[in-house]
């Protein structure tokens, strides 16, 4: 609602009964939110509250035309709120009022009983005061006397300055009437206005009514009213007023001297107290009431001269508390027991609060780290895997900067897991052990998520990963088709990537071959570096055999190594299997490992089909199936069978 342009300071008659209110209103209009916030004006009906509010609005607007000023009567505010809630636009309602720089609310006495309006208003007041915007309110009674209002709201309303407007005294009444006559262009005989002024009207509206009657009588009757006619013209006035008029002697009623002393003192106090100290003390009272420590502000209050930036200090204090609130809320989601912790009540301990929250969010258990069994030194390089290894080495030098994410794919058993863990270990070592490197298989990642969902600790689980300095996920192909896991992975990915943390994934297939992988993840995986690790080539095989055999008491002859390296192998795992098998065979026979022994073992055709039953095979075999019969030892012509089934 717009402010009525007729309500201005220059047409508001100031007398002893409203001097303080006008002074306060002016101060507010001159510099909104700097002095008395909120300003609460109360008085009986018709004494100029609305006029004064309008004057604040108009004056403030005149001084700063860009200000967003809103005048609203409380019942309109209530209606708007109800309509907004009914229309599902409560949020828009809030936003609308939060954009207002100076909010003028009339008729606050209608708050009685409107619980939801009180709540909304409380929130609005907090928001507006917090962001340094002015609120002016008026009512026909002081805040404490408005029935059925939330205690917290009352304290807010009373937190700034409460001023009242009394009934106008004789001089003020005369001044008001003269102003009105001038405005209307009416001239009375001398003494008429004074005669009317002797009647003790309790409010200006009644006085104006009586004046209107005189004006009407004079203009319509075409005859000048004489002072002695005034009472006759007004006729039906209540006895009390007439009696007052008759007995209107100038000697002061008891108490009036004290009252006027009080008024003067009030304006002297208002003039001389330091606004910045008042604001600071208000802030202290407010935040203490909210349960926060205000040591910082109390120190400020001790200053004799206001620090030049006191306003921003106050604002900063409020902002710090907002931050504490946010931190507390965050930590409560993870661990309700930490909610009431003292650090969230002391803005001077913000840093501690942040650390506490970080620690709580990170959870008591850090995410799984890399396995120390896999070292970079123990990883053999050849042309079949050198690209991946080079990328891995680069990552360790400069984590998060070069290839993030690094996506390594290749068939099973070529050393992806080894390389991944090696990267993890190198990262930890490079940081001197300070880095939190999460190294986990997708399966474990998923199981943890499910467990967290079950316990309702997803937030904490998520935070563990988000707090990691690097995230390495093995067998990421398992997330394909798992919606929730992909969703979580997506968010963790984004959070870490945004902070330039290193991400490494391993998979048995390149991203574009992973069916059921969401597009958003796929594109992210491909956005870094995708490298392939191939089955070990001859050079690598030779190195690996040499390494594995060197670890035993057997001496590996060059021709033996050359023989072994020539045999095609799909994976490193197979090489390990072969070595174990050979060692077992040699041990069984009690002979050193020679080319002949190896040949005999590896080329069963030469020695008959006894292989499946040899204890050596059993030792070398995966011990998953202990029963030989469950193991298919010979995959005769698999391709033929597949073709057959296809047909």
Partner 1 sequence: MSLVNYATREITCKIVYYGPGRSGKTTNLHYIYGQVPDDRKGKMVSLATQTDRTLFFDFLPLDLGTISGFTTKFQLYTVPGQVYYQTTRKLVLQGADGVVFVADSQARQLEENIESFQDLHANLAEQGIDARAVPLVIQYNKQDLPKDLILTTAELNDALNFRGVPEFGADALHGPGVFETLRSISELVLKRLSSPAK
Site of interaction with partner 1 (CB under 8 A): 36, 159-162, 254-255, 257-262, 264-266, 268-274, 277-278, 280-282, 284-285, 298, 301, 304
State the minimum distance, in angstroms, from the CB of residue 372 to partner 1: 60
Pairing of strands 102-106, 134-139: parallel
State the minimum distance, in angstroms, from the CB of residue 325 to partner 1: 24
Report the distance separating Cα 611 and Cα 636, nearest Å.
15
Q: Which is nearer to partner 1, 36 or 445 (CB)?
A: 36
State the minimum distance, in angstroms, from the CB of residue 159 to partner 1: 8
**Paired tokens of 221:** 């009757």
Q: Which is nearer to partner 1, 159 or 367 (CB)?
A: 159
State the minimum distance, in angstroms, from the CB of residue 158 to partner 1: 8
Q: Which is nearer to partner 1, 80 or 263 (CB)?
A: 263
State the minimum distance, in angstroms, from the CB of residue 24 to partner 1: 8
State the minimum distance, in angstroms, from the CB of residue 305 to partner 1: 10
Q: Which is nearer to partner 1, 286 or 374 (CB)?
A: 286
Report the distance separating Cα 279 and Cα 269, nearest Å.
15
Q: Say if CB 13 and CB 162 are below 8 A apart.
A: no
Q: Which is nearer to partner 1, 30 or 603 (CB)?
A: 30
- The CB-side HSE value for 287 (13 A sphere, CA atoms) comes to 28
Residue length of the chain: 647
Beta strand segments in 74-167, E: 102-106, 134-139, 161-165
- The CB-side HSE value for 293 (13 A sphere, CA atoms) comes to 14
For 69, the 3-state DSSP assignment is strand
Q: Which is nearer to partner 1, 39 or 572 (CB)?
A: 39
| CB neighbour list of residue 195: distance below 8 Å, 6 or more residues apart | 227, 228, 230, 231
Q: Which is nearer to partner 1, 185 or 254 (CB)?
A: 254
φ, ψ of residue 263 to 5 degrees: the values are -60, -45
Torsion of CA 480, 483, 489, 490, to 10 degrees: 100
Q: How many CB atoms lie within 10 A of CB 613?
A: 11
State the minimum distance, in angstroms, from the CB of residue 262 to partner 1: 6
Report the distance separating Cα 435 and Cα 469, nearest Å.
6
State the minimum distance, in angstroms, from the CB of residue 313 to partner 1: 15
Sign (positive/negative) of CA torsion 513, 516, 522, 525? negative
Q: Which is nearer to partner 1, 89 or 282 (CB)?
A: 282
Among 374, 361, 506, 346, CA closest to 440:
506
């Amino acid at each position: 609602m717009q402010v009525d342009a007729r309500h201005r300071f220059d047409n508001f008659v100031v007398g002893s009964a409203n001097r303080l209110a006008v002074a306060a209103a002016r101060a507010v209009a001159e510099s909104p939110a700097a002095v008395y916030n909120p300003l609460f004006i109360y008085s009986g009906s018709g004494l100029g509250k609305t006029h004064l509010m309008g004057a604040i609005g108009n004056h403030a607007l005149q001084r700063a035309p860009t200000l967003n000023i809103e005048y609203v009567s409380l019942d309109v505010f209530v209606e708007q709120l109800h309509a907004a809630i009914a229309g599902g636009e409560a949020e828009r309602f809030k936003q609308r009022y939060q954009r207002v720089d100076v909010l003028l609310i009339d008729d606050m006495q209608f708050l009685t009983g409107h619980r939801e309006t009180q709540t909304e208003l409380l929130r609005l007041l907090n928001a507006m005061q917090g962001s340094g915007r002015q609120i002016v309110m008026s009512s026909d009674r002081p805040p404490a006397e408005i029935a059925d209002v939330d205690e917290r709201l009352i304290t807010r309303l009373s937190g700034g300055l409460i001023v009242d407007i009394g009934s106008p005294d004789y001089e003020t009444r005369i001044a008001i009437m003269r102003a009105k006559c001038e405005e209307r262009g009416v001239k009375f005989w001398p003494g008429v206005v004074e005669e009317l002024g002797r009647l003790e009207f309790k409010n200006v509206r009644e006085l104006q009514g009586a004046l209107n009657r005189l004006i009407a009588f004079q203009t319509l009757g075409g005859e000048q009213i004489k002072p002695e006619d005034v009472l006759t013209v007004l006729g039906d006035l209540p006895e009390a007023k007439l009696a007052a008029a008759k007995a209107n002697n100038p000697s002061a009623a008891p108490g009036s001297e004290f009252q006027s002393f009080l008024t003067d003192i009030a304006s002297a106090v208002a003039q001389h107290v330091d606004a910045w100290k008042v604001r600071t003390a208000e802030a202290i009272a407010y935040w203490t009431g909210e349960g926060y420590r205000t040591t910082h502000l109390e120190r400020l209050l001790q200053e004799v001269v206001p620090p030049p930036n006191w306003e921003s200090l106050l604002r900063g204090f409020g902002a710090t508390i907002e931050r504490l609130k946010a931190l507390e809320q965050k930590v409560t989601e993870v661990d309700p027991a930490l909610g009431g912790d003292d650090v969230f009540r002391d803005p001077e301990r913000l840093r501690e609060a942040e650390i506490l929250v970080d620690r709580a969010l990170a959870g008591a258990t850090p995410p799984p780290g890399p396995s120390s069994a896999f070292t970079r030194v123990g990883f053999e390089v050849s042309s079949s895997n050198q690209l991946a290894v080079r990328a891995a080495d680069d990552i360790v030098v400069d984590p998060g900067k070069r290839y993030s994410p690094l996506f390594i794919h290749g068939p099973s058993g070529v050393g992806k897991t080894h390389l991944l863990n090696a990267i993890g270990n190198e990262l930890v070592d490079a940081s001197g052990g300070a880095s939190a490197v999460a190294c986990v298989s997708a399966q474990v990642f998923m199981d943890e998520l499910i467990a967290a969902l079950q316990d309702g600790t997803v937030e904490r689980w998520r935070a563990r990963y988000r707090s990691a300095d690097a995230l390495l996920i093995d067998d990421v192909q398992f997330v394909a088709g798992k919606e929730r896991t992909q969703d979580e992975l997506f968010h963790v990915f984004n959070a870490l990537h945004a902070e330039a943390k290193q991400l490494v994934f391993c998979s048995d297939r390149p991203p574009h071959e992973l069916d059921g992988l969401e597009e958003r993840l796929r594109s992210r995986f491909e956005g870094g570096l995708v490298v392939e690790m191939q089955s070990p080539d001859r050079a690598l095989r030779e190195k690996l055999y040499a390494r594995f055999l060197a670890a035993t008491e057997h001496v590996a002859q060059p021709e033996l190594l050359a023989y072994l390296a020539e045999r095609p192998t799909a994976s490193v795992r197979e090489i390990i299997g072969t070595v174990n098998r050979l060692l077992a065979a040699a041990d069984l026979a009690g002979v050193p490992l020679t080319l002949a022994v190896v040949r005999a073992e590896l080329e069963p055709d030469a020695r008959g089909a006894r292989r499946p039953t040899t204890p050596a095979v059993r030792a070398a075999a995966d011990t998953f199936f202990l029963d030989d019969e469950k193991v298919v030892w010979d995959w005769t012509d698999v391709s033929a069978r597949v073709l057959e089934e296809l047909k």
